[in-house]
Chains A and B, each alone.
Chain A
Amino acid sequence: MRPIEVENLTVYYRRGFGKPRLKAVDGLSLGVNEGEVVGFIGPNGAGKSTTIKVLMGFIFPQAGRVSVLGHPAGSVAAKRGIGYLPEVAQYYPFMTATEVLFLYGSAQKLSRKELKRRIPALLEKVGLKGREQEALRKFSKGMLQRVGIAQAVLGQPRLLILDEVTSGLDPVGRRDIRDLLLERKREGATIFFSSHELTEVARLCDRIILVDEGKKLEEHPLKELLDRLCTFFITFRSDGLPASLSKGAAVDSPGEGLLRVSLKDNETFLRTLDILRSNGAEIVEAGTDRGSLEEYFVQAIGGKIT
């Protein structure tokens, strides 16, 4: 049994009387393994938040089967092991951070004694120490996001479902939250999150699932994808290009009489380096260009990023 299993999920939204329904999710199938961190990425309107809402039981699909922690999505049994962060939430503006965590903790059936022990430590971890007794209406968007993450991890869930996890956070906040999530990962939790911050995705994920127009476009283990996106380059000075240089090699001139050759794999890179040296070329620089997830993303969705 995998923590998240989705088969042929289809969700329509009504658009008003007389208008055709909008297909938000179109036959989507995906799975998340125990202890895995999966990034759910895609452009705006791709169906990410809708899928997450179905996983939480907030909306009901027209077709498909969804199970969370071995139970039907939205059931109390499934929710016992989930920590959830909504895409945008304001929380109760008239409450303080401590009060709101007491409320969410009581909804998780945690005793007052247990909450009194957990809440101060958690607020410190998300960087809200000293602000515990302030009303949430005075909080910035980033601070509210920290409260949201605190409520999501409060019950020490087995599965974290986070919608736009780093939204509104400053670099320090992102690091704090990343550390917190990595700590949860080390403790064995499964994490499924959507984000537009691809740098964070690259830092956290074991695997990514790319969706667009409600359909799954691709899914890759992150390491494999980044290796695939990685290119090798050699910058050298030479009178001309050696004839034996592989035909597929892309060569350009960065200026100052230099030439730069880009190569796809390590083997070709080493062979090309040998050829250039044996032809008396002066090697100025040789190395790798780490591929960026952003470039991959833009290419995969056909430049539709919004």
Chain B
Amino acid sequence: MSGKLITLRGLVWATLLESIRRKDLYVLLILSLALMGGTGFIQFFGVSGLEQFLKDISLFVVNVCVLVLCVTATARQLPREIEMRTLFPLLAKPMSRAEYLVGKFFGSLLLAVVALALFAAEFALIAHIGGASLGWIFAQALYLRILSLSVVVAMVLCLSLVLTHSANVVISLMLVFGASLFSRSINLVYFELEETSPLVGKALLWVYYFTPHFDLFDLSEKVVFDWPPVSWATLGALSLYGLAYTLVLLVVAQLIFRRKSI
């Protein structure tokens, strides 16, 4: 194994180990199981035809739990390392700051993916017990969720270099959960202002394109209503979009971090 890969493996392992030993994952797993299980329990009272409701609520719980875990765990990585000074002996080793950031990125992403896999397994089990079917669209939804998580991790990591931990968590969660609302609002305001104030309209258009559209990666509604799988072309385009955003955010993070005094 090459030297860089050994370092990367070490950093990823340390990030994962921290979250496992802090028991964040277990707490959310139990909480989500209780929420999804509670929803699934309704059918035992003779209420039928609630498969869609069950899927809708359960998927919402999965998405919220994974995103909250992903944002909070990623946001604390760098500030905590600086605060506890664990960063100093680590950066004193023969690795670049870019390697460190990439290690933290993959560590946080792996944690999010592990959490998503566990929550998805929970969801599939509850859906199966509740008699709901999950088609190929569910696999696609999971794939796109992983892509959006990579953008989220890169964004939170980047913001953690300029914001405090709490500010980062709040802003990131607002950006992630408010993505769809934000896009729609900007669209509406843009069409209103396009003719009256073209300059403001143009600025809004830039903001629209500049902000990551997390809503594009969300196939929850299609899973709930058993849609057929989306086309490969759409998946490919979204993959490129997600990877490009991740890459740009990581490059920005590195540009900030490379000359940052710690």
CB of B179 to closest CB in A, whole Å: 33
Knowing that A84-B92, A91-B86, A94-B18 touch, tell me 18 more A-B residue pairs with CB under 8 angstroms.
A56-B88, A58-B261, A76-B95, A79-B95, A86-B88, A88-B85, A89-B85, A89-B88, A94-B21, A95-B17, A104-B90, A106-B6, A106-B7, A108-B94, A109-B3, A109-B7, A110-B6, A152-B89
- CB contacts (< 8 Å) of A109 on chain B: these are 3-4, 6-7, 94
Instruction: Decide if A86 touches B89 in the complex (CB within 8 Å).
Output: yes
Alpha-carbon gap, A60 to B21, bound state (A): 35
Check if A84 sits within 8 Å of B88, measured CB to CB.
Answer: yes
Q: Are A108 and B93 in contact, with the CB atoms below 8 A? A: yes
* B10 part of interface (Cβ distance < 8 Å): yes
CB proximity of B17 to chain A, nearest CB, Å: 7
Least CB distance, A51 to chain B, in whole angstroms? 14
CB distance from A91 to the nearest CB of B (A): 6
Give every chain A residue within 8 A of B92 (Cβ-Cβ).
56, 79, 82-84, 86
**Chain A residue nearest in CB terms to B81:** A92
Closest to A152 in B: B89
Q: How far is B21's CA from A59's CA once the two chains are assembled, in angstroms? A: 32
Given contacts A80-B94, A107-B95, contact A151 B89 (CB under 8 A): yes
**Size category, B interface:** 20 to 34
Instruction: Enumerate A179-196 residues with CB–CB distance to B below 8 Å.
Output: none
Which chain B residues border A56 with CB–CB below 8 Å? Answer: 88, 91-92
Residue from A59, A107, A111, A151 whose CB has the most chain B CB atoms within 10 Å: A107
For B17, what are the chain A residues with a Cβ–Cβ distance below 8 Å? 94-95, 99
Q: Is the CB of A107 within 8 A of B90?
A: yes
Cβ contacts under 8 Å, A77 to chain B:
94
How distant is the Cα of A90 from the Cα of B96 in the complex, in angstroms? 22
Q: Does chain A have a CB within 8 A of B233?
A: no
Knowing A56-B92, A58-B91, A79-B92, say if A106 contacts B9 (CB, 8 Å): yes
On chain A, the residues within 8 Å of B7 by CB distance are: 106-107, 109
Which 9 pairs of residues, A with B, have the shortest CB-CB distance? Answer: A106-B10, A109-B3, A84-B92, A107-B93, A94-B21, A59-B261, A86-B88, A80-B94, A79-B94
Q: What is the minimal beta-carbon distance from B200 to any residue of chain A, in angstroms?
A: 31
A79 to B97, CA, bound (A): 12
CA distance A89 to B4 in the complex (A): 25
Give the CA-CA distance A92 to B18 in the complex, in Å: 8
The reply to whether the CB of B27 lies closer than 8 angstroms to some CB of chain A is: no
Minimum Cβ distance to chain A for residue B3 (Å)? 3
Q: Chain A: how many interface residues by the 8 Å CB criterion?
A: 37
A contact residues around B96 at 8 Å (CB): 76
Contacts of A99 in B (CB 8 A): 17
Q: Within the complex, what minimum Cβ distance (angstroms) separates B255 from chain A?
A: 15
Q: Which residues of B contact A105 (CB under 8 A)?
A: 10
Residues of B within 8 A of A91 (CB): 86, 89
Tell me the minimal C-beta distance from A163 to chain B in angstroms. Answer: 9
Query: 27 A-B contacts, Cβ less than 8 Å apart?
Result: A56-B88, A57-B91, A58-B261, A59-B262, A76-B95, A77-B94, A80-B94, A82-B92, A84-B89, A88-B85, A89-B89, A90-B86, A92-B14, A92-B18, A92-B86, A95-B17, A102-B10, A103-B13, A104-B93, A105-B10, A107-B10, A107-B11, A107-B93, A108-B93, A109-B3, A109-B94, A110-B6
Is B89 a contact of A94 with CB atoms below 8 Å?
no
| Smallest CB gap from A11: residue in B | B261
Which residues of B sit under 8 angstroms from A151, Cβ to Cβ?
Answer: 89
Provide the bound-state CA to CA distance between A108 and B95, in Å.
8
A42 within 8 A of B: no
> How close is B98's CB to chain A, nearest CB, in angstroms?
10
CA distance A106 to B21 in the complex (A): 20
Chain B residues whose CB sits within 8 angstroms of the CB of A47 once the complex forms: none
Which chain B residue shows the least CB distance to A91? B86
Nearest CB of chain B from residue A97's CB, rounded to whole Å: 13
A-chain residues with CB within 8 Å of residue B14 when the two chains form the complex? 92, 95, 103
Q: Is A43 an interface residue (CB 8 A)?
A: no
Shortest distance from the beta carbon of A21 to any chain B beta carbon, whole Å: 13
Chain A residue contacts of B18, Cβ below 8 A: 92, 94
> Closest Cβ of chain B: how far from A298's Cβ, in Å?
30
**A58 to chain B: closest residue by CB:** B262
How far is B103's CA from A107's CA once the two chains are assembled, in angstroms?
10
Residues of B within 8 A of A90 (CB): 84-86
